[in-house]
A and B are shown apart, each in its own frame.
Chain A
Amino acid sequence: MLKVTDLVVSYGGIEALKGISFDVEQGQIVTLIGANGAGKSTTLRTISGLVRPKAGRIYFEGRDITDLNTQKIVETGIAMVPEGRRVFVNLTVLENLRIGAYLRKDKAVIEEDINYVYELFPRLKERSWQLAGTLSGGEQQMLAVGRAVMTRPKLIMMDEPSLGLAPLVVKDIFKIIETLKSTGMTVLLIEQNANAALHACDYAYVMETGRITTSGTGEELLASEAIQEAYLGKSSKK
């Protein structure tokens, strides 16, 4: 569904991505794990067109989207839940959802989708008229996911959705990711919480300083000694 080939990105001479290639299969949860500064966020930002690559191509459903602007990329069906949630704090919860549907013209279906998001996150419905800035971190994360769902994406990319959230809330977020998958959405997930991400994903890529070093199914990587040492901590062994 999404195919990235030999992607190189540099910020002022420093290469953040040194030629990475990976695939995301339709209907799967795929995760990129790795330490801070490995280039995970840069990868997502490049796919959504916020950062321009120096070399390499990005294909979505067979179409080359490398040179499209962000708005066109959103139109093709790629949504992003940005790092740090980035909800519009000066807009109400409902407006945040409506702005997710900014490009859509199907008014009736938009209303249905708002109700769908409210079913996924009943907390948001209760707070519909509150300013998003007054929500807790977990609620803001739900809103950021709901807002992305409102774009009717085929692929939803999430940048560290569990960052700074209480363990119970993190559990909820991962449940939601599973739910999204069950509705046919494809998910590309970035996580520092490698343990949770590897348990949730169908396939995983491990990134180190701008390169993909290992890949495999979640179970394979969970079983690998090297991965356990580097990302899960030895103590997490049974």
Chain B
Amino acid sequence: MWDTIFPYLLSGISVGGQYALIAIGYTMVYGILRLINFAHGDVFMVSAIIMVYIMASGLPMWICIPLVLLITVAIGFLIERAAYKPLRSAPRMSVMISAIGVSYTLQNLVLYITGGLNKQYPTIPWISDTMQIGAAKTKIVTVVTPFLVILLVVALVLLINRTKIGMAMRAVSKDFETSQLMGIKINNVISATFIIGSFLAGVGSILFFTNYPTVIQTSGAMPGLKAFVAAVFGGIGSIPGAVIGAFIIGIMENIIKGLDVILFKLGVIQAPLGLATFSDAFTFALLIVILVVKPSGLFGEKVTDKV
């Protein structure tokens, strides 16, 4: 029984960790701008495309990875400056439409460059190697992901709670105007938020595509949507909420994918039912249930809209 479930659990934890890295970007940007940054999943995809092209240039690995992360961060920063900053005092709906626009712009750009072909994601040494763990045979990335995620989340929480820029982020997320009266440059704080979010999405992209070997212009949509659901599930605006929500969704999704096999081996069913088909629908069903029971999510603050 355990041997049957374990591989699904393992890949669930791993995918959950990858969702978590994307979900943090959604939740931080929401926390500060009250904006659902629809382009975030596409930044994740673009980061993978950049990796494809930079690796093809033949640069050594130790240059490629930091370079890809740097470019991803630059893209995140530029998106905010070009598409969101000019709309700072516009209604929230306008900024959201701008975000959708950015999302499609990125997808179309990638379509233009790749010609709509699936691109083989390069093999990153070590984390692409397979290893045996218990009954499961898996890539090292599966095991590394949760630890790396925890490390990054701890670093992020320390940054937010212990540093001056972190304090400014918390202040700006509550009150733009009073933050300005303290001399805080809110635009810099907002940029910092996008830089952190894009960096984590870049790391998530490396981990994710090491397991899913090809990338295409729509590759960011589903993981982005799942991560968004995770952020809402955990209580949007809350970083621990997004991380826990992402792990729960990753695990649930993978258990559902393996449900046929698990039930079959347990003798509950005689023939496969094709339940794996419903793994995506399940994610959203879960979201609906959570939102009915607890509208603010697991760790969400009570809705006190700014007056």
Contact = CB atoms under 8 A, between A and B. Distances in A.
A79 B181 CA distance: 7
A88 interface: yes
B175 A151 contact: no
A90 B170 contact: yes
Interface residues of A, number: 23
B177 A82 contact: yes
A98 interface: yes
B171 A99 contact: yes
A9 B63 CA distance: 55
A187 to B, nearest CB: 16
Interface stretch (B12-20, B22-30, B182-190): B182-190
Contacts of B88: none
Interface in A92-130: 95, 98-100, 102-103
Most buried by B among A48, A71, A82: A71
A67 interface: no
A86 interface: yes
Given A50-B180, A100-B182, A88 B174 contact: yes
Given A95-B167, A99-B168, A88 B184 contact: no
Given A82-B177, A86-B175, A88-B174, A151 B167 contact: no
A86 B178 contact: yes
Contact of A103 (B174, B177, B183): B183
B137 interface: no
Interface in B158-183: 164, 167-168, 170-171, 173-175, 177-178, 180-183
Most buried by A among B164, B177, B182, B185: B182
Contact size range, B: 10 to 19
Contacts of B170: 88, 90-91
Given A82-B177, A86-B178, A71 B167 contact: no
A111 to B, nearest CB: 15
28 contacts: A48-B181, A50-B180, A50-B181, A70-B181, A71-B184, A74-B182, A75-B183, A80-B181, A82-B177, A82-B178, A82-B181, A86-B175, A88-B174, A88-B175, A89-B174, A90-B173, A90-B174, A91-B171, A95-B167, A99-B168, A100-B182, A102-B164, A102-B168, A102-B184, A103-B182, A103-B183, A151-B182, A151-B183
Interface of A: 48-50, 70-71, 74-75, 79-80, 82, 86, 88-91, 95, 98-100, 102-103, 147, 151
Given A50-B177, A70-B180, A91-B170, 6 more contacts: A70-B183, A82-B177, A88-B171, A88-B178, A99-B171, A102-B183
Closest 7 CB pairs between A and B? A103-B183, A74-B183, A70-B180, A86-B178, A71-B183, A88-B171, A102-B182
